[in-house]
Structure 1
């Protein structure tokens, strides 16, 4: 096991802090919320900027309605989240008011972040709020989400927000003290791991599979979030949200929780967005020659190498590129719509104008707007 390097706390000027439902629920949940607000206020007083990603709408809604368990139907889950979200924001507003800090609510969906223009608009809004000294409180828009309510992607959302705003550090507050060698709930002898240099399959195997009753993520979700942040060069701290000053202690050099190294950034700009895209819009299947050229030669994708078009998507949207066996090659932005690509697939570039009546460009996907799956960490 590697030794944990010291945290260069002075370099962490912008942080994204994610708080899970398990930390905010139960008899002590309100106290945890207040202590987290106090820590963020202390960071703000030091001149740091903080974006807060807060789960808890569902848990808060359950409490308001006097329900003990999450319902089974999706409309009921969405309705409970709708009941809980205003109270969740009110509680954060009250917590930060003790320190004369204002908050702003931002509700996002994976669909929002899958569109480049909306992604950039979200970044501009967050940048403005931070410039004004306001603490943005981000949550998934659970009332309109389906898959994200089921799988609990606020961990993933926090990693996306960290890259969106160019954070120096991602903090994940959990009800667990740190990453352990095995799930401590089923392996009491398991030891905490203070430092992880690289997230690989062995590290992912340490995660327990079962989330708690009020949250929907679990340790694996947090590791995948840290993996996304690592690809952007952003270190991640997994900390106990139930410990009053765990973040402040960690920044002072106390080895609390688990630190995941940031490492070298694999991508930047638009390619980083492609790498972290929540859900590409469709897929293009290419022949073996095109697959090899994309994987090994850093080539652009031309119509001649396309075998099949799957799904409906427009110009500029992100799609998956698959080889003939269905394996993911990478993700790229298309210069033609699905209908247009269907008409020109398998043909030479010189035929595009005759087939369509116009030609935007020779490439269906330019290499500058393509992120290789082989460069992405294993899921």
Structure 2
């Protein structure tokens, strides 16, 4: 039975494995670490474990902690070098804090620092899955953060909302709980007097995206509502529920689960009524693609029916990529329809744009493959 309401997340039968993301502003205040608040949250994590639920923590805060220690301006985000240095110092304090507080409940913390490439590369992604599975089987609580000391602007998540969703995919979690500085998703900017919080969202649509704000109320975090909706989309591909809830209160999980205050994103049924397979969920959740294939309206309609992408329907090729690289498939207006693994490099794709299969051998010099992107290597984005 799928998760349908917030109290379901406290039921180990419906939600046996949770990923809980904690934002920077919740962990670090003007006076430093909010230890009393974190102690309450760790007690709630221990209660979830006692109920029989696995818990994975995705914890921000390393840059903020390190910046305070080093005396860096702008919370350590004034430059990439500042952020990397702050993370290197702050991560020690952050992991030590989690280990200490979890140990107070007889729980073992396990630190994992991940980069974007750890979850974008298929082999490394499977290694992450294996490590998380073994840690959970051994009774540990994985505490995960982006490895900001080596991440660059070009190759990084940039926010832990999407990292949490990708970790949930890798760990085959039941749900992601994003603890933030807001109660949930509002139908307009929450500062407006007639703003209304939406308790349940059935899939992330264009209408839902229109409600998002890029602002983060605290100024400490790197994400906003946009990144949270992107995280919900990533989770949805794997059939994973996602919750946005306010972490500023004492015992925030009790407020979200017990009182039902927050927004629950329930994945929509996909083609055939089933969630995407593990490989397709990984592919659809990728944040970095090597290029793009623009298709005509006929090909877009065929993709929606479950067909492969043929060269005949491709109108343009973008970027530089090789065979097997991930690419975006875009409609004539530039909207992303799907992610897929290309059967050809960019140069070959450009050479056979718009050609029927019977015409391609003369151009390529060899018998063409059955598709530019086969349906087994393709996942629709909506």
Tell whether the structures are fold-level matches, with TM greater than 0.5. Answer: yes
Q: Does 1:240 align with 2:267?
A: no
Q: Does 1:365 align with 2:368?
A: no
The answer as to whether partners of 1:151 and 1:217 remain within 8 angstroms in 2 is no
Equivalent in the alignment of 1:280: 289
Deviations 1:328-365 (A, max 9, x none): 33211122333444455555546767766666842221
Equivalent in the alignment of 2:58: 53
Equivalent in the alignment of 1:220: 226
Correspondent of 1:317 among 322, 325, 349: 325
Equivalent in the alignment of 2:178: 172
State the TM-score, normalized to the length of structure 2. Answer: 0.84
State the TM-score, normalized to the length of structure 1. Answer: 0.84
The SS at the match of 2:371 is: coil
- For 2:197 and 2:299, the matched residues in 1 are separated by 46
Q: Which runs of 5+ in 2 are unaligned?
A: none
Count of paired positions: 369
Deviations 1:236-286 (A, max 9, x none): 2323323232314544x4223333334435523222222211121211234
- Deviation, structure 1 residue 188: 5.8
Cα gap change, 1:346 to 1:182, in 2 (>3 Å): closer
The answer as to whether partners of 1:335 and 1:360 remain within 8 angstroms in 2 is no
Equivalent in the alignment of 2:235: 229
- Larger deviation, residues 353-362 vs 153-162: 353-362
Correspondent of 1:163 among 165, 169, 178: 169
- For 2:28 and 2:174, the matched residues in 1 are separated by 28
Deviations 1:297-326 (A, max 9, x none): 432223444444332333322111234554
Q: Please give the root-mean-square deviation of Cα atoms over the aligned residues, in Å.
A: 3.1
Correspondent of 2:26 among 18, 23, 31: 23
- For 1:116 and 1:147, the matched residues in 2 are separated by 22
Q: Does 1:135 align with 2:135?
A: no
Q: Which runs of 5+ in 1 are unaligned?
A: none
- Deviation, structure 1 residue 288: 5.2
Deviations 1:183-209 (A, max 9, x none): 44x336645444444544444444443
- For 1:151 and 1:270, the matched residues in 2 are separated by 20
- For 1:273 and 1:209, the matched residues in 2 are separated by 25
Equivalent in the alignment of 2:46: 41
Cα gap change, 1:46 to 1:283, in 2 (>3 Å): same
